[in-house]
Amino acid sequence: MVKSILGRKVGMTQIFDAQGRVVPVTVVEAGPCVVTQKKTVEADGYEAVQVGYGQAKPTPGKDARGHHRASLNRPEAGHLAKNNLPPLRHLREFRMDGAAAMNVGDEIKVDVFTEGDLVDVTGTSKGKGFAGVVKRYHWHGADMTHGSMIHRKPQSAGATDAARIFKNTGRPGHMGHERVTVKRLRVVRVDPDRNVILIRGAVPGPNGTLLTIREAK
């Protein structure tokens, strides 16, 4: 069985362990995911399974409030309809050994994980917009007194001889909204009836973001 699953971040809360200690956890609504494609060494050069998660509308349109609803384009819809699968919003691929043992249409549920497992959680971090170097790179800045006119400015970053700014020089710019993986988080509780998994600590992204949960390497 693939020890990987897609889910949606619900939010953070806290629970108490057997010793009465407070444990901060992130609640994730994970699965069920459907195997939508199987890749083999003979056909593709490697072993993997593609899984789908989240319901989508098969055709474009608007909801009751006039907002455009999430729908599939024709290639996506045809890819799923070929195997008589429902319209699924998110498709991701998990590389694994033994993919031949799984079949298209199989479900992956949250019970692939058990309490105490270590997992790697991948998501898109919160966007912070345009940020300066003090916020973006945690630079301490200059003096706020004694006539200093620098404060939170990044100062010069160029070179007289090269007459340019070198690569990887810290500059103000867009912060956040990046793919982030938090490794080796512990599974605290699994609720198969509600498709919910509780993971100790914080995971990337705002509430509602798509998460990929894999067994830790």
First and final C-alpha spacing in the chain: 16
Which class for 197: exposed (0-12), middle (13-18), buried (19 or more C-beta within 10 A)?
buried
pLDDT tens-place string over residues 15-29: 998 889 999 999 999
Query: Given pLDDT bands bounded at 50, 70 and 90, which one contains residue 217?
Result: confident
The CATH architecture that domain 4-122+177-215 belongs to is Beta Barrel (2.40)
Q: Give me the residue spans of the domains in the chain.
A: 4-122+177-215, 127-176
pLDDT tens-place string over residues 44-74: 888 888 898 988 776 656 666 666 656 777 7
Question: What is the distance between the alpha carbons of residues 155 and 133, in angstroms, rounded to a whole number?
Answer: 10
